[in-house]
């Protein structure tokens, strides 16, 4: 995220790092990278640099009011699979360091989950189109992810095809919730028929997909979740799930023939359509949920509005 969470104090974060990893940072600086989790760069007295990730579990619920422990357990499962995948020989996986209880993360207060990673010096990329060489490199990584051993895949949750915060799309929005509340409500009302049709189409695609075979998937293998050092890396494993392979490939159409040649799996158009549509519907639902709650006009709020205003009209 572009701004740190308002209700996580630095002393609370420092206490979580000390209790969970025995880390007492000399420096702890917020890094506005990515969009979803919050990030800090930390360094101890020994000069070792760490990358600290904090997730607001309230934004990781599947529905409004879901207990935060369920969101925490899903995140723990995803990151546990990433750690196991790296241990199984996939050294391109940037996985969290174990906490004091051996798990991949710990809590900071009730609503926050903290994970600690080695700091990686390398080339970063933004969300956007791949170059052909970058795309080919990601194909090689995904083939290795999808061939994860069964015991690694079993650590991840299985995709249930639920769209997070779907209930928020049809719930009323208090116009006084913040500066984007009324505009969000108007936008959703204008395109309500298209949104309803999109959800109905998604539901129709889901039913036959429930019988599809699964592999371990990253979930968001776009350029912003890759890095390059002396090798290509996949980062941000918080959405890892056991799911049909199309979950990782709906936005990588030029790679479909090469993926089939490498794996023997011919990707199914109906599942590619499902995950393509799910991406847009999830963007709409998650952004709407943000603007139903009290909010301001931060960089994160402006970026969220940009996503919502761009995505909703595509449903009509």
238-285 per-position pLDDT tens digit: 999 999 999 999 999 999 999 999 999 999 999 999 999 999 999 999
Q: Is residue 189 in some structural domain?
A: no
User: Looking at residue 230, what is its pLDDT?
Assistant: 97
- Is 182 inside any structural domain? no
pLDDT recorded at residue 164? 98
CB hemisphere CA count around 144 (13 angstroms) = 18
Say how many domains are in the chain: 1
In a domain, 186, yes or no: no
Report the C-alpha gap between 162 and 98 in whole angstroms. 29
Decide if 177 is inside a domain: no
101 part of a folded domain: yes
Residue 53: per-residue pLDDT? 98
Task: Give the domain CATH number at 117.
Answer: 3.30.200.20
pLDDT digit string (tens) for 174-228? Answer: 999 999 999 999 999 999 999 999 999 999 999 999 999 999 999 999 999 999 9
Of the candidates 41, 43, 58, 50, the one whose C-alpha atom is nearest the C-alpha of residue 7 is 58
CA distances from 38 to 12, 22, 28 (A): 14, 21, 13
Residue 199 located in a structural domain: no
Task: Kindly state whether residue 174 falls inside one of the protein's structural domains.
Answer: no
Is the residue at 197 inside a domain?
Answer: no
Average pLDDT in the 4-32 region? 97
| pLDDT on residue 225 | 97
Instruction: Say if residue 157 is exposed, middle or buried (CB neighbours under 10 Å; 0-12, 13-18, 19+).
Output: middle
- The whole domain housing 245 covers 10-161+209-315
Residue 316 has pLDDT above 90, yes or no: no
Tell me the average pLDDT across 7-22. Answer: 97
């Amino acid at each position: 995220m572009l701004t740190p969470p308002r209700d996580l104090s630095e002393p609370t974060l420092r206490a979580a790092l000390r209790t969970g990893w025995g880390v007492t940072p000399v420096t702890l600086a917020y890094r506005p990278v990515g969009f979803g989790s919050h990030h800090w760069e930390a360094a101890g007295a020994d000069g070792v640099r760490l990358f600290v990730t904090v997730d607001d579990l309230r934004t990781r619920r599947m529905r409004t009011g879901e207990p935060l422990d369920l969101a925490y357990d899903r995140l723990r499962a995803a990151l546990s699979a990433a750690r196991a995948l790296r241990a199984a020989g996939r050294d391109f996986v940037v996985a969290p360091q174990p906490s004091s209880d051996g798990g991949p993360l710990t809590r900071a207060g009730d609503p926050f989950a903290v994970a600690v990673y080695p700091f990686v010096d390398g080339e970063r990329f933004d969300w956007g189109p791949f170059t052909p060489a970058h795309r080919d490199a990601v194909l090689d990584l995904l083939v290795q992810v999808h061939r994860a051993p069964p015991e690694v895949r079993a650590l991840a949750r299985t995709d249930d095809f639920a769209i997070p915060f779907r209930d928020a799309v049809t719930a009323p929005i208090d116009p006084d919730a913040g500066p984007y509340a009324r505009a969000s409500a108007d936008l959703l009302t204008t395109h309500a028929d298209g949104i309803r049709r999109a959800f109905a189409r998604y539901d129709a695609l889901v039913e036959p997909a429930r019988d599809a075979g699964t592999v371990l998937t990253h979930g968001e293998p776009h350029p912003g979740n890759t890095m390059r050092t002396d090798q290509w890396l996949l980062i941000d494993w918080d959405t890892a799930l056991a799911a049909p392979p199309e979950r990782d490939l709906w936005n990588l159409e030029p790679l479909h023939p090469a993926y089939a040649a490498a794996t023997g799996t011919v990707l199914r158009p109906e599942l590619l359509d499902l995950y393509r549509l799910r991406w847009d519907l999830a963007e709409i639902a998650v952004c709407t949920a943000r603007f139903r709650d009290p909010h301001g006009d931060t960089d994160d709020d402006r970026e969220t509005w940009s996503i919502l205003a761009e995505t909703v009209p595509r449903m009509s």
